Structure 1
Amino acid sequence: MPPVSEPSVPESSAVQLYCLDSGEPGSGELPLIILHGLLGSADNWRSHMRAWQDQRRVVAVDLRNHGRSPHADGMSYLSMSDDVVALMDRLSIERAHVLGHSMGGKVAMSLARRNPGRVATLTVADIAPVAYQHGHDRIFAAMRELQQGHPKDRREADALLARHIESRPVRLFLATNLQRDGDELALRVDLDRIMDGYADIIAPPAGQAPFDGPSMVLRGEQSDYVEDAMLPTLRGVLPGARLITLKEAGHWLHADQPDAFRQAVERFLGAHPHGA
């Protein structure tokens, strides 16, 4: 008997997500859907898309209130995973490999648990299916500084971010959320709705049943997002997950160690081209 999907929210409440779609290369391989993390976007995954798109169709998604996708109330994993299902329907993708980083990893786990028949394999990058503590105060303060500072150029924007964020790589990442609006730079993320939904973002993923399909969890050696103490909970959600630790990588492991990250994903998808 095929897996039974959990009921979804009414289709009318799903957000019509923006995505970067490489198109079908004609290889016959299942598509790969990529879901970014908090304050990220599909644009962060362009280099990985270029590396993979000759082999398979690659779809990098802007989740609600991020990137070029519409702004809408609610950041629950139930709603965000239903957004992705609606996107798959719109793109005529019945089944796909799904890769999610951080918040996107929780969306991916929610999608796999609630709609297992749509997910051939699941790759989760540096997140566990647990509730996290509030840990983005400085990030949100920096983003609010950008919102209220009305920078004219990237240099002014970086100076505003530097009031709260010492790390230049983190500042560069946050600055990817800026877009030109007349003679100034403005946020393209809906900061208010993201902050209002933060309790849902740090909560566990949606769904009740474990995902029994092929799964892999990649974690950064220098990150504390997937600690050993979390592994029993992780195994309860992804009982067959392969756990790989990338050396000299932090939470943004796909940027810290891009080659090792790509190779791990390619080996995993190569071992499970059609899922279970």
Structure 2
Amino acid sequence: MHYVSSGEGQPVILIHGLFGNLDNLKNLASTLEENYQVIRVDLPNHGKSEHWEFMDYPSLAKECVNLLEELNLSEAHFVGHSMGGKVAMALALLHPEMVTSLVVADIAPVSYSPRHQKVFAGLTSMPMAELTSRSAALEHLINADIDLGTAQFLLKNLQRADNGFEWKMNLDGLIENYPHIIGWEMPDAVYSKPCFFIRGGESEYVLAEHTNAIMKQFPKVTAKTINGTGHWLHAQKPEIFNRLVGEFIDKHQS
């Protein structure tokens, strides 16, 4: 799994969400690296990491175990946004001894209904062979009824190739494994160490109806809502988000 490490101190591993890469939480990393070793990762099928035909949360958690072993670390703090939050939760449930503390940003330990069909349609219909510029790619996504902010985020996955452009991410693999990504096929386990759930006040990913599911598997949870933010809370109000995460990790150093 491709990663970038900065800073020194207790390790903190940052995990991005679907269609993302290790730059998504770079702003948070720049804040934490003053006091911690911060490791930002590209999950499999994203960024510069290996493309997998099959991915689910247990296999992604195992990849985090492999990363800790590669870095010669026995445990770390984990911060995950969206799908990355599910990866971090899966690791905490399956290998709690390796997770010093857990921060989950705008996702719950539940199965979701499909909500990315429009994005997948826009990405798969991109005329890669005829594509001449990033602006043309942006226009295609806008015409596919994808909002500007999401389109710009998705195009961070677009890179120049010998014959035009290609996706960094494994788009076919993400489509094939999408049921696992939105699902939550995990054993009935409990993570009894400190964890912090942060949600966007305008997001529909963490709702009151998810409270019981969170409390069942993460009983030592504290929670915070950042008003005026949606699912991309870390990008919409980074100063507040970074402060909340930093304060939580400071409080729970091993």
TM-score higher than 0.5: yes
User: Could you tell me how far 1:82 is from its partner in structure 2?
Assistant: 0.5
Contact preservation (8 Å) 1:145, 1:161: no
Contact preservation (8 Å) 2:138, 2:155: yes
Query: Which residue of 2 is the match for residue 96 of structure 1?
Result: 76
Pair 1:32 & 2:12 matched: yes
* Counterpart-to-counterpart distance in 2, 1:200 and 1:214: 26
Query: Which residue of 1 is the match for residue 235 of structure 2?
Result: 255
Query: Which residue of 1 is the match for residue 5 of structure 2?
Result: 21
Question: Can you give the 5+ residue segments of structure 1 that lack an aligned partner in the other structure?
Answer: 1-16
Query: Which residue of 1 is the match for residue 36 of structure 2?
Result: 56
User: Could you tell me how far 1:47 is from its partner in structure 2?
Assistant: 2.1
* Counterpart-to-counterpart distance in 2, 1:205 and 1:34: 22
Q: 1:132 is aligned with what amino acid?
A: Y
Specify the SS of the correspondent of 2:51: coil
User: Could you tell me how far 1:234 is from its partner in structure 2?
Assistant: 0.7
Query: Which residue of 2 is the match for residue 13 of structure 1?
Result: none
Provide the TM-score with structure 2 as the length reference.
0.96
1:121 to 101, 113, 128: 101
* Counterpart-to-counterpart distance in 2, 1:68 and 1:165: 28
Residues 157-236 of structure 1: pairs in structure 2 closer than 5 A? 157-182=137-162, 184-204=164-184, 206-236=186-216
| Identity %, equivalent residues | 34
User: Could you tell me how far 1:148 is from its partner in structure 2?
Assistant: 4.0
User: Could you tell me how far 1:237 is from its partner in structure 2?
Assistant: 1.1
User: Could you tell me how far 1:209 is from its partner in structure 2?
Assistant: 1.2
* Counterpart-to-counterpart distance in 2, 1:84 and 1:146: 32
Specify the SS of the correspondent of 1:44: coil
Provide the TM-score with structure 1 as the length reference.
0.89
User: Could you tell me how far 1:170 is from its partner in structure 2?
Assistant: 0.7
**Structure 1 residue ranges, 4+ long, deviating more than 3 angstroms after superposition:** 147-150
User: Could you tell me how far 1:169 is from its partner in structure 2?
Assistant: 0.9
Residues 73-152 of structure 1: pairs in structure 2 closer than 5 A? 73-146=53-126, 148=128, 150-152=130-132
* Counterpart-to-counterpart distance in 1, 2:168 and 2:233: 24
How many positions carry a matched residue from both structures? 254
Q: Give the RMSD, CA atoms, in angstroms.
A: 1.3
User: Could you tell me how far 1:183 is from its partner in structure 2?
Assistant: 5.1
